[in-house]
Structure 1
Amino acid sequence: MKTIIVASQKGGSGKTTLVSHLAVEVERAGDGPAWILDTDRQGTLSRWHESREADTPQRADVPFSKLSAGLDALDKQGAAYCLIDTAPAISDQNTKLLRLADLILIPVRPSPADLWAVSETVEQVRDAGKPLLFVITQAKAQASITAQTVAVLSQHGQVAQAFIADRVPYAVAMTAGRTAPELSAKSPAANEIAELWACMKACFHEKKKTRKVSNG
């Protein structure tokens, strides 16, 4: 099982939207079973899941003190991916949580405030020794600030080629316990999420190839 943690110190960066949409995409792409886990006290991801009519993805309710054992149990049950939402804070809990990840997604809105805040999150990830992938969220079409944000982030790690644009369907879908691709399977939002998931799978594939070369 691969554990994907979505983390950012900055509130409003789109963590919960990413976790919910990617978990559903895992199932839509036939790569499941997918599980989600909510470690944010606000519980937005849990409320989204409770509003959902579909049976997938499944949600695990695991106390933080037993999180490692809970992930092991999901692995033994045959889970393929577990996506974890985190609180927008620099905390000991998040520091410990990052050490359980196979990949850490860091959503960043193309704005100066988000760029200023991302450095502490990156430092946490580096301390944990885990691979990261930046994801541009709420991107504005043809905005120079988006290109500038990519240029800055590229100095610290890989940036996903698939951007998540600032689209109304993302918010509309979340209020109904759904995702934007479920509202319209051929929409721009659906393409964005599918492309992002493909990019993430490529990260795992490249990591596996690197291991094989180093052991050979």
Structure 2
Amino acid sequence: MKTIVVTSQKGGSGKTTLCAHLAVEAERMGDCPVWLIDTDKQGTLSVWHERRNAETPQRAEISLTQIEKGLTALANRGAKYCFIDTPPTISEQNVTVLKLADLVVIPVRPSPADLWAVSHTVALAQEEGKPFLFVITQSKANANITAQTVAALSHHGRVAKTFIADRVHYAAAMTDGRSAPELANKGQAAQEIAGLWQDIKSCFNENNNSLNK
């Protein structure tokens, strides 16, 4: 089983939305079973999941003190991927979760504030020796700030080729427990999520050391 931790020190980066969408996409593409774990006290991912009609992805309610044992149990049950949502802060809790990651996904909006916050998250991942991947979220078409953000992030590590644009479909789908591709399976959001999931899967087919040179 591969454990993917979605984390960012900056609130509003689209962390929970990304976590939910990627988990659904993995199931849709047959990369299953997929599980979700919500470690954020706000519980937004849990609320989304409770509103969801589909039975997959499944969510495990595991306390932080039992999370390592919980992940082992999920792996023993045949889980292929587990996505973990985290609080928007640097804490011992996040460090505990990062230690268990096979890949750390760091969503970043194209803004100076998000860039300033990235260094702490990157430092934690590097300290734990974990490969990480930046994902541009809430991007706007043809905006210079997006290109500038990608250039700045590239100095720290790898940036996913697929950007997640600022689209109404993402928020609209989340309100009733769905994903944007489920809302409009041939729309641009669906293409973005499909492309991003392939970007993430490719990380597991490469030597970890090549991710963050």
Distance of 1:92 and 1:31 partners within structure 2: 31
The AA in structure 2 aligned to 1:207 is N
Distance of 1:49 and 1:21 partners within structure 2: 11
Q: Give deviations 1:22-58, integer Å, cap 9, x for gaps.
A: 0000010011110000000000000000000000000
Q: Which residue is 1:190 aligned to?
A: 190
In the TM superposition, what are the counterparts of 1:49-64 in structure 2 within 5 Å? Answer: 49-64=49-64
Distance of 2:104 and 2:173 partners within structure 1: 24
* Aligned-pair CA distance for 1:209: 11
Contact 2:98–2:104, Cα closer than 8 Å, also in 1? yes
TM-score between both structures, scaled by the size of structure 2? 0.97
In the TM superposition, what are the counterparts of 1:133-212 in structure 2 within 5 Å? Answer: 133-207=133-207
Q: Which residue is 1:126 aligned to?
A: 126
User: Could you list the runs of 4 or more consecutive aligned residues of structure 1 that deviate by over 4 angstroms after TM superposition?
Assistant: none
Counting matched residue pairs gives 210
User: Which one is further off, 200-209 or 37-46?
Assistant: 200-209
Q: Which residue is 1:101 aligned to?
A: 101
Distance of 2:34 and 2:19 partners within structure 1: 11
The AA in structure 2 aligned to 1:82 is C
Distance of 1:175 and 1:61 partners within structure 2: 21
Distance of 1:35 and 1:190 partners within structure 2: 21
Distance of 1:187 and 1:55 partners within structure 2: 23
* Aligned-pair CA distance for 1:207: 2.8
Distance of 1:47 and 1:145 partners within structure 2: 33
TM-score between both structures, scaled by the size of structure 1? 0.96
Distance of 2:203 and 2:153 partners within structure 1: 17
Residue aligned with 2:204, SS: helix
Q: Which residue is 1:213 aligned to?
A: none
Contact 2:110–2:145, Cα closer than 8 Å, also in 1? yes
In the TM superposition, what are the counterparts of 1:29-44 in structure 2 within 5 Å? Answer: 29-44=29-44
RMSD over aligned Cα atoms: 1.1
Distance of 2:208 and 2:92 partners within structure 1: 30
| Distance verdict in 2 for CA 1:81–1:112, change over 3 Å | same
Q: Identity of paired residues, percent?
A: 65
| Distance verdict in 2 for CA 1:12–1:146, change over 3 Å | same
Contact 2:2–2:82, Cα closer than 8 Å, also in 1? yes
Which runs of 5 or more structure 2 residues have no equivalent in the other structure?
none
| Distance verdict in 2 for CA 1:154–1:185, change over 3 Å | same
Residue aligned with 1:30, SS: coil
* Aligned-pair CA distance for 1:128: 1.1
User: Which one is further off, 200-209 or 138-147?
Assistant: 200-209
* Aligned-pair CA distance for 1:208: 7.6
| Distance verdict in 2 for CA 1:63–1:156, change over 3 Å | same
Which runs of 5 or more structure 1 residues have no equivalent in the other structure?
211-216
